[in-house]
Amino acid sequence: MSAATGRRPDGGGVGHLLGIDGMDRSDVEEILDLTDTFAEIGRRPIPKVPALRGRTVATVFFEGSTRTRMSFEAAARRLSADTVSFSAGTSSLSKGESIRDTVEVVSSYGADLLVVRHSMAGTAHRVAGWTDLSVVNAGDGCHEHPTQALLDCYTVRERRGSLDGMRIAIVGDIRNSRVARSNVLAFTALGAEVVLVAPATLLPPSILGWPVTVAHELDPILGDIDALYLLRIQSERITEGLIPSLREYASDFCLTASRVARMRSDALVLHPGPTNRGVEISAEAASDHRSVILDQVVNGVSVRMAVLFLLLGSGRQLGAVDAGPQWRVDLEHRVV
Ligand code: NCD
């Protein structure tokens, strides 16, 4: 039994995946190994198995999504689970209904597992405390997005065999990115070295304790890294002028054709999507042979199959259940 993940010895109960926080190397590797099995199922002429027949997965998205929601729903269908779906835009939220009431309504449709996305850090943790269903965090504000990190690790491992000793640069709006937080934890758990590349205003107020180094310029490190992970400027979360202009940001940090050509030939380019072409990545760089952006999308389904299977099939807890002291303080001051 892993103390870090609080796994139940009898395999019973209800488990959640709320963050990479609390997972060690073997926890991450176990999910990636299981993903290999589901990737193989995805390559069959009929990519479907009866593993979760009779179970229902609900996607509860209070914030926009293309890839993550479609990927969870595809994963559930490949496992023969039923799906129900809630979208904030077309719901009674606009009529004043609370998150808690919304979750209760969705749960009452017979769901076994809720996939939750919200713009506020800690929402998935809160929801896990309200229901006796499994909860998967599909992105909570700028806190965590664990399945994105798992599919990114899977994509890198698929190409390179192992992340051990790799130097991975995460570039862009790290301050507002849940993907960056989950990926720093997952990449380093698998033995990679992470360098954050951003202007000082796009770094979190404190990175004390983060297992990373920092660079403020992209050009000097381009030839010296094994993978470049690009992030979108999260305009929806930026409340002050953190960059002079998108044009100025792009001139220093956009991965253009000439910049990608200076990377090692076997280096990888990743992006969680959606991409803002011409801001953090050019069309040419996105289609360069180093780019594995489409592999990330494909692998997202297999990784999420593994996560749904582990949670619903075994009731296991994946990662910590607590949002951590820093986020708990933040949450206690907000009304949901
Ligand atoms: C990311 C997200 O929503 O956090 N996208 C995703 O899940 N594929 C990154 C982003 O929105 O920039």
Task: Residue 137: give its domain's CATH number.
Answer: 3.40.50.1370
Q: 162: Cβ–Cβ under 8 A, 6 or more apart, which residues?
A: 190, 191
67 close to ligand 1 (CB < 6 Angstrom): yes
DSSP H helical segments within the chain, as ranges?
25-42, 67-78, 99-107, 123-130, 146-160, 178-189, 246-253, 257-261, 283-286, 293-314, 325-332
**174 to 54, 84, 177, 242, 289: CA distances (angstroms):** 40, 32, 5, 12, 25
Same domain (yes/no): 272, 151: yes
pLDDT over threshold 70, residue 330 = no
Residue 29 located in a structural domain:
yes
Same domain (yes/no): 303, 231: no
Question: pLDDT tens across 177-234, in order?
Answer: 999 999 999 999 999 999 999 999 999 888 888 999 999 999 999 999 999 999 999 9
- For residue 37, the CA-to-ligand 1 centroid distance in Å is 26
Q: Distance of alpha carbon 286 from its chain centroid, rounded?
A: 20
Same domain (yes/no): 136, 156: no
179 close to ligand 1 (CB < 6 Angstrom): yes
**What pLDDT shows up at residue 179?**
97
**What pLDDT shows up at residue 336?**
37
- For residue 148, the CA-to-ligand 1 centroid distance in Å is 8
> How far is Cα 229 from Cα 96, in angstroms, rounded to an integer?
38
3-state helix, strand, coil in the chain (%, to 5): 40, 15, 45
Q: Distance of alpha carbon 21 from its chain centroid, rounded?
A: 12
Question: pLDDT tens across 287-299, in order?
Answer: 999 999 999 999 9
Same domain (yes/no): 98, 219: no
Beta-bridge partners for 58: 84, 114
Same domain (yes/no): 235, 255: yes
pLDDT over threshold 90, residue 117 = yes
Residue 320 located in a structural domain:
no
Residue 328 located in a structural domain:
no
* The pair of three-digit structure tokens given for residue 206, joined into one six-digit string: 């404190």
Q: What average pLDDT does range 12-29 have in this prediction?
A: 92
Q: Which of 325, 20, 301 is nearest to 144 (CA)?
A: 20
Look at residue 267 and give its three-state secondary structure: coil
Same domain (yes/no): 110, 233: no
Q: Distance of alpha carbon 221 from its chain centroid, rounded?
A: 25
Same domain (yes/no): 93, 194: no
Residue 18 located in a structural domain:
no
Q: Which of 187, 63, 72, 57 is nearest to 121 (CA)?
A: 63
**What pLDDT shows up at residue 89?**
74
Q: Which of 34, 29, 307, 3 is nearest to 189 (CA)?
A: 29
User: Which is the closest atom of ligand 1 to the Cα of 148?
Assistant: 7
Mutate to test the pocket of ligand 1, among 69, 179, 233 (most ligand atoms within 8 A of CB): 179
* The pair of three-digit structure tokens given for residue 12, joined into one six-digit string: 């019973």
148 close to ligand 1 (CB < 6 Angstrom): yes
Residue 205 located in a structural domain:
yes
The helix (H) or strand (E) run that includes residue 137 is strand 134-140
Same domain (yes/no): 57, 163: no
Report which residue type is found at 290. Answer: R
181 close to ligand 1 (CB < 6 Angstrom): no
Q: Which of 335, 320, 329, 261 is nearest to 100 (CA)?
A: 335
Domain extent, residue 106, equals 25-143+298-313
> How far is Cα 245 from Cα 243, in angstroms, rounded to an integer?
6
146 close to ligand 1 (CB < 6 Angstrom): no
Question: pLDDT tens across 53-75, in order?
Answer: 999 999 999 998 989 999 999 99
Q: How close are the terminal C-alpha atoms of the chain, in Å?
A: 34
Q: 240: Cβ–Cβ under 8 A, 6 or more apart, which residues?
A: none
Residue 5 located in a structural domain:
no
> How far is Cα 234 from Cα 239, in angstroms, rounded to an integer?
10
Closest CA to ligand 1's atom 12: 232
Q: What average pLDDT does range 258-279 have in this prediction?
A: 97
- % pLDDT > 70, the chain: 90
pLDDT over threshold 70, residue 1 = no
Same domain (yes/no): 155, 272: yes
User: Which is the closest atom of ligand 1 to the Cα of 177?
Assistant: 4
* The pair of three-digit structure tokens given for residue 180, joined into one six-digit string: 């960056």
- Domains held by the chain: number: 2
Q: 300 near 71, Cβ under 8 Å?
A: yes
Same domain (yes/no): 157, 259: yes
User: Which is the closest atom of ligand 1 to the Cα of 272?
Assistant: 8
Q: Which of 108, 134, 41, 109 is nearest to 79 (CA)?
A: 41
Cα dihedral sign for 179, 180, 184, 187?
A: positive
Beta-bridge partners for 229: 170, 270
**What pLDDT shows up at residue 94?**
65
> How far is Cα 108 from Cα 111, in angstroms, rounded to an integer?
7
User: Which is the closest atom of ligand 1 to the Cα of 138?
Assistant: 7
* The pair of three-digit structure tokens given for residue 290, joined into one six-digit string: 């180093």
pLDDT over threshold 50, residue 102 = yes
Same domain (yes/no): 178, 265: yes
User: Which is the closest atom of ligand 1 to the Cα of 66?
Assistant: 8
Mutate to test the pocket of ligand 1, among 137, 148, 280 (most ligand atoms within 8 A of CB): 148
Query: How sure is the predictor about 4, in pLDDT bands with cuts at 50, 70 and 90?
Result: very low
> How far is Cα 172 from Cα 69, in angstroms, rounded to an integer?
24
Mutate to test the pocket of ligand 1, among 145, 175, 176 (most ligand atoms within 8 A of CB): 145
- For residue 177, the CA-to-ligand 1 centroid distance in Å is 8
The answer to whether the predicted template modeling score (pTM) of the entire model surpasses 0.95 is no
**What pLDDT shows up at residue 231?**
98
Same domain (yes/no): 266, 158: yes
Q: 156 near 166, Cβ under 8 Å?
A: yes
259 close to ligand 1 (CB < 6 Angstrom): no
